[in-house]
Amino acid sequence: MEKNYSYPLNANWSNEELATVIKMFQLVEDAYETTALRTDILNQYRAFKQIVNSKSAEKQLGRDFKAESGYELYQVIKTAQTSEHQTIHIVEEY
């Protein structure tokens, strides 16, 4: 699938913070498009929360990312937190 969208980013973030947030969104993409390791998702989410530490900011980024990509940050995080599987793959139901 060709990606024709951009990530919702904050211009005030440092290069390291940008890399952390982008990596989180890439793992969300992986969870939908192929698979992602549960531990990678959870570890990256902890790093992501150090940058995006308010629930409202996280929800806004998640909404913006879903509008761009169709992929839900919340769904991937929730699945990783509750799953006992080592890999996460989100199957969209139509």
Give me the number of domains the chain comprises. Answer: 1
- Would you say residue 9 lies in a domain? no
| CATH number of 35's domain | 1.10.220.80
- Would you say residue 92 lies in a domain? no
pLDDT in tens, 15-31: 999 999 999 999 999 99
Q: Which among 11, 90, 29 is positioned nearest to 65, based on CA atoms?
A: 29
Domain that holds residue 35: 15-84
Low-confidence ranges of the chain (pLDDT < 50): none
- Would you say residue 4 lies in a domain? no
Model pTM? 0.93
- Would you say residue 8 lies in a domain? no
- Taking the C-alpha atoms of residue 84 and residue 71, their distance in angstroms, rounded to an integer, is 22
- Would you say residue 71 lies in a domain? yes
- Would you say residue 3 lies in a domain? no
